[in-house]
Amino acid sequence: MSERRKTVVLAYSGGLDTSVAIKWIPEKYNMDVVTVTIDLGAVKNLDAIREKALKIGAKKAIVIDAKETFVRYFVYPALQAGALYEGVYPLATALGRPLIAKLLADVAQEEKADAVAHGCTGKGNDQVRLDVSLQVLNPNLQIIAPVREWKMTRDDEIRYAEEHNIPVEAKIKSPYSTDENLWGRSIECGILEDPWAEPPEEVYQWTKNAKLAPDEPEYLEIEFERGIPVALNGEEMDGISIITTLNAKGGKHGVGRIDHLENRLVGIKSREIYESPAAVILHTAHKALEGMILTKDALRFKDIVSAQYADLIYNGLWFSAFHQDLVAYVLSSQRLVKGTVRVKLSKGACVLVGRKSPLSLYSEKLATYQKEDTFDHSAALGFIKIYGLPVKIQAQKQMDILTGRESLHLDSIMPPKIKPVKK
């Protein structure tokens, strides 16, 4: 009795790697291939990609529009969390991976598949994010990563494609590896591997060079509810529209270019360029609004949570209990984050120019230096007396012993003992 032929669900972008995989997996693993092409906001001509998959030999080709899910369950939670990896990268690619893993697992279940496959290499973060997520979502699925396994160079792949009637786009080979979705575009490889080299203009597709951006600045008013943008310039808008509009407006003014020498999960430093106009604008605005509404302690703690949250996303641990714990804190912290922020886009910069909120903790009467001032200046005296008491007593009782001097010398606080490195 012959065994049932197995099925693999392949995440298919339409590019060379995954096109070759449609032929290579059946040869190597003797499985039928079902392709899934997932639109997170950057895939053009979905129908053509579907056709191509079938033409190459997929048993079935599925396309999924996941834009709304992406914004609601991934992008906005990351915005509310203030998640910027190493303080700068808005995590577009990293946020897409757990959703892709989830959709692969869902389709695998529907199709009663035995395996899933993706086109990641063995050197990046994406393989880790997908594999770890898949292991959580369905540990029974075999994971196949052809590019990680087949040891073909790009030229080998092209030869393989030609031998197997796989259409290869005639377009000149780009030296860059890119990935994009609604939240941003990632570019690596080529000349960018030299961290001293200024990125050539050609790597940017979403953003104008600041020099060529309009002279006239553009003002935007972004309204937030519970830390989520709900309206732009007074007009209520859904998430996809807000993000698409801000990507276009920001890009036009050269906003959102990021040059990041980042610490990859696999242990290496890598130079990455990002274009994320909407993410840069929204993070700037969101943080400004929080600054007006959250207390000083809450803000200090939020910074810690933001860094943890960003690491968790970057490191592929989306589907974890720790994430649930962090989300609970973040959502609670966002209950009062309501108000409007005004930013100015000008020559590559997104400048914060105003914020207002019905729940603001800012009091003009307390802050002003004009005659309207209601701050009790005389109370400052008593405050300082008690606030400074511990260091004052320490100075009296201990400092001369600790420093061995009659009076405090600058060297005793800041000893010039650390040797400079000679090279």
Question: What mask of x and - would describe binding to ligand ARG in positions 110 to 149, judged by CB under 6 A?
Answer: ---------------xx-----------------------
- Look up 126 and say whether it is catalytic: yes
> What are residue 262's DSSP bridge partners?
270
Question: What mask of x and - would describe binding to ligand ARG in positions 144 to 183, judged by CB under 6 A?
Answer: ---------------------------------xxx----
Minimal distance, residue 127 CB to ligand ARG, in Å: 10
Size of the site for ligand ARG (CB under 6 A): 10
Catalytic residue among 50, 97, 129, 355: 97
263 counts as binding ligand ARG under rule CB under 6 A: no
Amino acid 329 reads Y
166 to 18, 23, 38, 55, 56: CA distances (angstroms): 11, 8, 21, 8, 6
| Complex with ligand ARG: residue 52 or 118, whichever CB lies closer | 118
CA atoms within 13 A on the CB side of 352: 16
C-alpha–C-alpha distance, residues 296 and 135, integer Å: 40
C-alpha–C-alpha distance, residues 178 and 176, integer Å: 6
Determine how many CB atoms are found less than 10 A away from the CB of residue 364: 11
Distance of CA 20 to the CA centre of its chain: 29
| Complex with ligand ARG: residue 32 or 188, whichever CB lies closer | 188
Catalytic residue among 177, 320, 360, 412: 177
- Look up 97 and say whether it is catalytic: yes
Question: What mask of x and - would describe binding to ligand ARG in positions 56 to 95, judged by CB under 6 A?
Answer: -------------------------------------xx-
Catalytic residue among 19, 32, 50, 126: 126
Determine how many CB atoms are found less than 10 A away from the CB of residue 382: 10
- Look up 177 and say whether it is catalytic: yes
Among 35, 127, 186, 306, binds ligand ARG (CB under 6 A): 186
Cα-Cα-Cα-Cα dihedral of 92, 229, 300, 257, to 10°? 40
Q: For residue 96, give the nearest of 322, 313, 324, 321 by alpha carbon.
A: 313
- Look up 32 and say whether it is catalytic: no
Where does this chain bind ligand ARG (CB under 6 A)? 93-94, 125-126, 177-179, 186, 188, 272
The residues carrying an active-site annotation are 17, 97, 126, 177
